[in-house]
Structure formats: C-alpha cells, structure tokens
Amino acid sequence: MFPVTTAHYLFLSTALLIIGTVGVLTRRNIIVVLMSIELILNAVNINLVAFSNYLQNVNGQVFTIFVITDAAAEAAVGLGILIALFRNKETVHADEVDILRW
Amino acid sequence: MFFLDSIWLIPMFPLLGALCMLLFGRRLDPQTTGHGDHGHDDHGHGGHHHEAGGKKLINLLCPGMVLLSFIFSLGAVIQLQSVEGHSYEVIKFTWLAGLDSATTAGALARFTADWGFLLDPISSVMVLVVTGIGFLIHVYSTGYMAHDGGYYRFFGYLNLFIFFMLMLVLANNYVLLFVGWEGVGLCSYLLIGFYFLKQSASNAANKAFLVNRIGDAAFVLGMLALFSTVGTLKFTEVGPALEAGGFTAETAAFGVLSWIALLFFIGATGKSAQLPLYVWLPDAMEGPTPVSALIHAATMVTAGVYMVARSSAIYVLAPKTMLIVAVIGALTAIFAATIGLVQNDIKRVLAYSTVSQLGYMFLACGVGAFWVGIFHLYTHAFFKALLFLGSGSVIHAVGGEQDMRKMGALKDKIPVTYRTMLIGAIAIAGIPGLAGFFSKDEILWQTWISHDGAYRLLWALGLATAGMTAFYMFRLMYMTFGGESRLDPHTASHVHESPKNMTVPLMVLAAGSILAGWIGTPVAFGPIHEHLPSLEHWLSPAIAAEPAAHEAAAHGEEAHHDTTMEWVLMFCSVALAVGGILLARRIFDRKTEGDPMERGLGPLHPVLYNKYYVDEIYNALFVNGLAKGGGAFLSRFDARIIDGAVNGAGWFTRFTSTVSIWWDTWIVDGAVRLTGFLVRFASYPMRMLQTGMLQNYAFFVVLGVLVILSYYFFQFP
C-alpha cells in the first residue's frame, strides 16, 4: 500500500478548489453555486487538516471546526436569501438576476 | 350761562334727528304710494301696517329737533347780551393739530383747527335765521311732502342740512366752517336730486355740485394763503394777527391780502350763486319746493355773504377786492333781475330773484357795509322763504303745475296763500314799512355815500334792479293769482287750499316779513331810528371798520349824515317800486293774449328768456370745449403716447425674452447637455463592465487571483 502523504491531500484539496471555482463561475443554478462554495470551503478544510498533521500542530484542526460551523451558518443564510429571491423573481438562476447594472 | 356753554349742542340736535332718520327711518316710513302732487315714488311697495304711527314720529322728531336747536339758540343769544364784547367761544377739543411752521413774514405759527364754536353777533343772527326759518320749513314740509315717497329720507337730509349749516355758522375757525360749507353742499346735492329718478333732477344736482367745487377750490386756496400769511385760522385771532403783523390797506397794489380776499370771494360766488358761478341755482329748483325755500333761498346760499362778513377784517384791508365784490354784486343783481322778468316757471322767477337779492348783499359787503349785507340776508330769509313756500303751496294746489301761463285767478281759491304771498311780494318789492324796504334801501344808501360817491354807478344799477324786482314779483303775483284762469278744467276743479301745517308757517313768515326790518331803520327816520333796537349797533363789535371810517372815528368826526339826500333816494326807490308794481298790474291783471313780455321787449325777449345763453356758452366752452375737447385730446394722448409707451415696452420685453429663450435653449441648455453627454461618452467602457451578472464579477475576482498568483510564479520560478 503506498503511503498517503501530505502532497496527496494537497492535490485533493487543489482539485476540490478548482472544481468548486469552476462550479461557482459556470453553473446557473444558485443552489449549485452554493454547493460549489461548500466544495471550496472543504478544500480549505482539507488543506488545514493536512498541514496540521504535517506540522503536528492541533491549531489547524481547531480552525477547521470553526470553518465547518461557519459554513453551516453561511449555508443557512444563503438558502434564506435564495428563498426570498425565488419568492420575488420565481427563479433560482443567477444569470436572470441582473438588474443591478449600468 | 347754561345756554352759552351748550352752544355746541345746537348743531347736535339735528344731527341726532338725521342719524335716526337715515339709520332707522326706513322702518318708520309708511312709504305711501299715494297721489303725490309730483307723482314721484321711489319705493313702490307700501307697507301700511304702522303707517300713521311712524309718520307721526317723524313729524314729531325732525321738526322737534330743529325747534330744540332754536330754543337753545334763542337762550344762548339772550345770554350773549350780557357777555362782555358780545362774543363767546366754546372749544370742545382740538381736531387737527399741526406742526410748527413759519409764516411768510417769518413768525412762528402752529396750524390748529379746533372743534370749537363761536357765538358772536354775526353768528347769532345766522343761527336764529337757520333754526327759526328751518323749523318753519320743517313744519311746512310735513304737509308738502306728505304724499311723496322717501319721506324719512327727505327729513333725514333736511335735518342733516340744518346740522351742517349750524356747524358753518357756529364754527370758530375757517377749517370747521369749511366742514359745514362742504356739508351743506352735499345736502344741497342730495336734496336737489331728491327725485333722482327724474333725469333733469339728477343733472341739476350734479351741476350744483360741480359748479360749487370751483368756488370751494378757491376757498381752500384762500384759507391756506391766509394761514401762511397771518398764521392763524381762528376768526377771533385773524383781526389781531393782521394788526400785529403790521398789515395796512393795500390801496396801491393788489397784494397778498387782496388775493386772499378775492379767493374767499370766489368761494362765495360758488356757494352764493354770483356771476359767473350762479348757473347752478336756477337749476336747483328741481328739488322739492321746501328745499328751494330753505337751502336755495334762506340759508345755504347766504353762507357766502356770511363768510365775507366774517372775513371783514381781511376785506377792509383789500379795497381793490372790495371793488370787485361790489361790482360783481351789482352786476349779478341786475343781470339776474333782467332774466327774472321773462321767466314763466314760478320757481325760476323766484330763483333768479334770489340770485339778484344775493347780488344786493354782496354789493353791500363790497361797499364796506357788511352789517347791511347781514341785515338784507336776514330780511331776505323771511320774505324769500315765504315766497318759495307760497309758490309751493300754489304748486300743491294746482297739482304740480309750475308754469304761470297755466295758472291765473287763484286769488279766491287759495286765499291764505294769496294773502301771505302778497305780503312777501310787497316786502321784496321795497314798499315802506315791510322788511325788504329797510334792508334794500340801506344798501342803496350805503352804496350812494361810500367812497364819497365814487360808486354811484353801482347805485344806479341797484336802483334799476329794485324797480325790476317790483315788476317781476308782481308779474308773478298777477299771473298766478290775478287775471283770468288759464287752468285746464280738470285741475281747476281740484284746486284746494293747503292744510294747516303748510299755511301756519306761511302766516308766521308773513308776520316776520312785515316786522323783521324794524331793527334796521334808516337814520333819516330820526326818533324812530333812535328808539328801536339797531342791528348795526349789535353787529358792530364783530365787524371790522374800514380804515378811513376808523380814522374818522378816532378824530372824533362823526360822519356828516345827509338826511335830506337819504329821503330823496328813498323816495326815488319807492317811486320806482310802485311804478314797477303798477306797470305789472296794467299788463298782467287782465285777460292777456299771448305773452305781453314778448311783445313789449321785442328782440330782447329771446335773449332774456334764454338767460343770455349763458348755459349754452358754458356748455360750449367748458362742457364741450374744455371737458369734451380736452377729453378727446387726452384720450388721443392716452391712446397714442401712454398706450404706445406701454405697448412699446411690452414689445421690447417680448423681443428681449425671445433672445433670452434662444440663448437659454441653445447656449445654457446646450452646455449642460454637452457636459452630460461627455460624461456618458467617457464612462461608456467602464459602464459596460457592470453587467449585473454575479458570476461575471466572480470571474473577475478569480482572474485577479490568477494574475496575482502568476505574478508570484514568474517572480519566483
């Protein structure tokens, strides 16, 4: 069994970040966009935990717990805004909400 | 001194009556729609419910107020006898208080006009005449106006007139006198136009008002000139101020005092109907007859004579103006008498007679015999009021007819009117023993002796007038009462004597016309003159003497009195008067064919009949010439110059505003729009970045991150 090193975690983290970023930039459905943001956050979490293990410092893991908590709150607020948006515009597509422009 | 201290109350009684009538009178007035002799009725609907009561109250209140005034006046005049100097002044309050100013002589003066009342010999005569005769005429009016509409209005105006007239004669300064002066003018206007639905009445009222304005303007100017010269307008102070200012008689030049006196006299010519402003008085006969008797014969028109006598202190220092006054007076006397010869309207004859008699009064004033002017004013008030009221009674009897050619032989049908009017006619004709004789002869005598006989031409005019007066008065009497009846049969059957409340005043006035003259008997009467009370003596403290007479008195020389000459002149005028009466009798006391005057006077008749065409000349000169011609000129001036200027200004404003609009639209707005356009244009690329698409923004964020990252990659490979 070949050993899982920190570098692997970092690759995984990078992959998740890219997937998340592309998701945010390209998907029309705001729910998917929010999910993509979760991916980005989790990429950060993996990074934090990986370096915590590597450096034998527990601070990274503690910080991860905070990020998860924050992500939960953020998801709640995001979904609340989304519901309010849907009530007004009857859409969850980001490209149809473009009145704030020139 | 109860009555003297309450002289201010004398005018207040009629004012109260007038206020009651004019404010509440309408409720009292029965407003009868009856068969008025003039058939005028301004309120068609007649409320008959409290008819008798309301009218009785008016009949009681209005003459009653004047009677109260008369009683108070009588009491005050009796008490005045015991006052030192026969002058009593009551000042209620200061009405107009001015600032200090300098007179033309440089002295300090303060303009004040008090609400003050002065009772002295002149005003005592006036106040008794106004209230006494005013009361009789009020009583007469209760009968005469009984069938006319606007009963309350008539009595309200009449009481208001008495109020203003009393203010005029009781005022202690020229300003308050002017209040009364204008007030009586107003009442005169209102009463001439009493039948205001009649065009001629309202025209006559306007004419009277407008003609009087000319005189009043001169009066105001005279008043201002007097103040700026002597620094006071109080009657009692003018004389002393003139003396203190060192003014002497202006024998050589026509100085400031002569001008003041002349301006006052012009004021008097308006009010007292002298040449050239007499034209309103004959037309004023459009008013009800009691009004003609009270205002246009007995009282108001004599206000000018009163005012001139009141200003005697100024006049004696202005001999040139005195000459003008005398000449105008004499000319007016004969001028009006000649017109009176041929008039056919009974009231117009009396109107011209009034103008003529007023001329006599001014003649007296002009020759320096102010007391005789007042004396004639006083006797004239009796017999002219009597004649007017008598003519009213005649008009009443024949159902409103005023043309004497349609009367005749009324002698037996209305005997009381006939007898009383006959007394009046004898009095005015100057038959010895009656009032007119004494005053008229005194005027002629004073004219004869004044200025050592320099004025004898004026005496001749006066004498001729006396003859004419006798003639036209008896022409009136014979045409009305004598000869044969020329009434139309319908009227003839209705002829009736007037009621008691009209005939009793006639009888009282007739008694007055007989007796009034005996307080001014000629010196030639010797013992009679010495034992009877003398008006001259009574008036002398209030009237300034001419400087010449003054000097004579100072030197102790009693002016030599030519008694023989006085008897001769008296005989002349009486002979002329009797001649006039006999001539009138010969011509008119019989059946007449056509107009004997027309045959007798030949080509002169139309001139006299048309009153020398004075009205036509005035119409052409002033109404059509000055007023209408000037009006046309002014209207053209208005249309061309004033309107032109206004229109030009309007056009110019429009022009400049057009330019302004163009400037605003293209330059100002253009600059603003250009700024906006430039900002929009320049910001276009930046604005295009604001797509409103969330993910675009996120893309740029990521792009920025990538740029920063790549910078690190290439910096640290």
For the cut 90, the answer to whether the pLDDT of residue B364 exceeds it is yes
B171 φ, ψ (degrees, to nearest 5) = -60, 145
* Comparison of pLDDT for B685 and B263, the residue scoring more: B263
Chain B residues with a Cβ under 8 Å from any Cβ in chain A: 687-688, 690-695, 698-699, 702
Give the pLDDT confidence of B608-619 residue by residue, as tens digits.
Answer: 888 888 888 888
pLDDT for the residue B47 = 43
Tokens of B297: 């014969």
The 10 Å CB-count burial string (b at 16+, else e) for B380-418 is bbbbbbbbbbbbbbbbbbbbebbebeebbbbbebbebbb
pLDDT, averaged across chain B: 87
pLDDT for the residue B40 = 41
For the cut 90, the answer to whether the pLDDT of residue B693 exceeds it is no
Q: Work out the pLDDT band at B592, boundaries 50, 70, 90.
A: low
Q: Across the A/B interface, how many CB contacts are shorter than 8 Å? A: 31
Q: Work out the pLDDT band at B562, boundaries 50, 70, 90.
A: confident
Tell which of B681, B687, B695, B705 to mutate to test the A interface (max A CBs under 10 Å). B695
Domain count, chain A: 1
pLDDT for the residue B646 = 93
Q: Please name the member of A94, A95, A101 whose beta carbon is closest to the beta carbon of B690.
A: A101
What CATH number is associated with residue A36? 1.10.287.3510
For the cut 50, the answer to whether the pLDDT of residue B41 exceeds it is no
pLDDT for the residue B630 = 85
Q: Please name the member of A21, A24, A98 whose beta carbon is closest to the beta carbon of B693.
A: A98
State the smallest CA–CA distance between residue A99 and chain B in angstroms: 6
pLDDT for the residue B38 = 43
pLDDT for the residue B43 = 41
Contacts 24+ apart (CB under 8 A), B688-694: B688/A102, B690/A100, B690/A101, B690/A102, B691/A98, B691/A101, B691/A102, B692/A97, B692/A98, B692/A99, B692/A100, B692/A101, B692/A102, B693/A94, B693/A95, B693/A98, B693/A101, B694/A94, B694/A97
pLDDT for the residue B31 = 58
| ipTM for the assembly | 0.86
Least CA distance to A95: which residue of chain B? B693
Q: Work out the pLDDT band at B467, boundaries 50, 70, 90.
A: very high
Least CA distance to A101: which residue of chain B? B692
Region B60-87: mean pLDDT is: 91
Its domain, for residue A79, covers: 6-96
N- to C-terminal Cα distance for chain A? 58
Please indicate whether, in this complex, the C-beta atoms of B691 and A101 are within 8 angstroms of each other: yes
pLDDT for the residue B162 = 95
Tell which of A18, A24, A27, A31 to mutate to test the B interface (max B CBs under 10 Å). A24
pLDDT for the residue B657 = 95
- Four-CA torsion B694, B696, B700, B703, nearest 10 degrees: 120
For the cut 50, the answer to whether the pLDDT of residue B669 exceeds it is yes
The verdict on A14 touching B (C-beta cutoff 8 Å) is: no
Region B169-189: mean pLDDT is: 93
- CA gap B340, B471 in Å, rounded: 10
- Residue A77 in any domain: the answer is yes
Q: Please name the member of A25, A99, A101 whose beta carbon is closest to the beta carbon of B695.
A: A25
| Among A residues 22-81, those touching chain B with beta carbons less than 8 Å apart | 24-26, 33
Find chain A residues with C-beta within 8 A of B692's C-beta. Answer: 97-102
pLDDT for the residue B474 = 92
- Residue A67 in any domain: the answer is yes
Alpha carbon B556 to its chain's center: 42
pTM here is 0.76
Place of tokens 């303009």: B111
Please indicate whether, in this complex, the C-beta atoms of B690 and A21 are within 8 angstroms of each other: no
- Residue A73 in any domain: the answer is yes
- CA gap B84, B17 in Å, rounded: 34
Least CA distance to A29: which residue of chain B? B695
* Comparison of pLDDT for B170 and B538, the residue scoring more: B170
State the smallest CA–CA distance between residue B691 and chain A in angstroms: 5
Q: Work out the pLDDT band at B49, boundaries 50, 70, 90.
A: very low
- Residue A101 in any domain: the answer is no
Taking alpha carbons only, the member of B317, B308, B444, B293 closest to residue B374 is B308
Give the pLDDT confidence of A12-65 residue by residue, as tens digits.
Answer: 999 999 999 999 999 989 999 999 999 999 999 999 999 999 999 999 999 999
Region B337-350: mean pLDDT is: 91
Give the pLDDT confidence of B96-120 residue by residue, as tens digits.
Answer: 888 888 888 777 888 888 899 999 9
- Residue A1 in any domain: the answer is no
The verdict on A94 touching B (C-beta cutoff 8 Å) is: yes
Least CA distance to B696: which residue of chain A? A25
